[in-house]
Structure 1
Amino acid sequence: MIALIQTLVLALDLYWWIIIASAIFSWLYAFNVVNPRNQFVGAVGNALFRLTEPALRPIRRFMPDLGGIDISPIILLLVLFFLRQFLITTVAPMIG
């Protein structure tokens, strides 16, 4: 059972880094640092979008419009952090 908790924590950590990569990529794309017509850049951007958008969309629905500033990745990172801490500090010791 501990292996399951460790696998979940590892998956949360991996998703954490995917969200950060997606945010950085969106900034690079918005400031025209990367070429959006490049096939590799488009594939990476599409993959990051498809991985993060299902989790970010519900958060964006409830967030007020902040004038072009999207804080939904920050909120999702906080949720992942607290879920990870809950698994490590509460669930894992209960299982033993």
Structure 2
Amino acid sequence: MVFALFQIIAILLNVAITVIIVQAIMSWLLAFNVINLQNDIARAIWTTLDALTAPIYNPIRKIMPDFGSIDLTPMVVIIGIIILQDAILPPLQLALT
């Protein structure tokens, strides 16, 4: 039971990293005007990605200093997820089994 729960958590964390990377790449494409939000599909994808990541990003953005046009929040979140995956969850799983 505990093993299955930790597998689900690991899958969700990997999905979160993927969503963050996709949003970062899409933000670069928008910034360099490769795609624009006039396209309905691009706007729908951007809105969905923003809705998924905003609850994670907003508390971190309040703490992080302003770097102008550079947003380091996705990198901070990915580093936090990797720390959670590699340093916190394995010992916790061992302790609970």
For normalisation by structure 2, the TM-score amounts to 0.93
Deviation at 1:95, TM superposition (A): 2.6
SS at match of 2:70: coil
Structure 2, unmatched stretches of 5+, are none
Task: State the match for 1:95 in structure 2.
Answer: 96
- Show structure 1 runs of 5+ residues with no match: none
> Which residue matches 2:82?
81
Deviations 1:13-68 (CA, angstroms, capped at 9, x unpaired)? 10010001011111111111013201000000000000001100111111111121
Aligned ranges 1:1-80 → 2 under 5 Å: 1-80=2-81
Give aligned pairs, total.
Answer: 95
CA distance in 2, matches of 1:55, 1:47: 14
- TM superposition score normalised by structure 1: 0.94
Using the TM superposition, give the Cα deviation of residue 92 of structure 1 relative to its aligned residue in structure 2, in angstroms.
1.8
Q: CA RMSD in A?
A: 0.9
Identity of aligned residues (%): 36
